[in-house]
Amino acid sequence: MQPGSVLADTFNTFFISKNDDIVQSIPHTQMEYFVQQSHCTFTEFEIIHESTVKKVCLQVSSATQPGEIVHPQFLKDFPFFYHARATIINCSFVNSTFSTAFNHGVVLPNFKNGDPDNFPNYRPKTNLHFASKVMEKVSALQLTNYLCKNSLFDSFQSAYRSFHSTETALLEVTASFLHRLDH
């Protein structure tokens, strides 16, 4: 094996063990509590319209990935693509399947800070094909809407929510701290 292959294997082993450690650290009772407290069930995705696909496509990055056959910008520039993509996504939702053709990504180590020779200073970043990004975003929109509609987000959760940035979280903590100082 070449040094590059050895490094890739070392990163792969590190990221897998890191994930396993996180899963093992979550107490099983916490997961059971959440499931017991949930008063509703997400049963199916809604059929989407090509206007939703167009909106999502225009938001998703046009960066190409290895193995991408058609450049994403080309797909964004031609309206006939939106109808075809909506049909594929809806078939996927109805049949509860995801094509293996879109089920591939390139995982790269993303350096955060500190010593570049120290693996914990890296985070895994997965680069997906354009079609996978669109499918992921459409699915995430429906799941997020469901979670909001059914009040399943924790009131203090800031990640993955519109209008709930780290600044919002910091303001909430600061306001709570000041309120407690006053009382």
Rounded CA separation 6/28 (Å)? 35
Question: 136, exposed or middle or buried, with CB in 10 Å at 0-12, 13-18, 19+?
Answer: middle
pTM of full prediction above 0.75: no
Per residue in 27-86, pLDDT (tens digit) is 766 556 655 566 677 788 899 999 999 999 998 888 777 777 788 888 888 878 899 999
Q: Which residues of 61-94 are buried (b: 16+ CB within 10 A; e: fewer)?
A: eeeebeeeeeebeebbeeeebbeebbebbbebbe
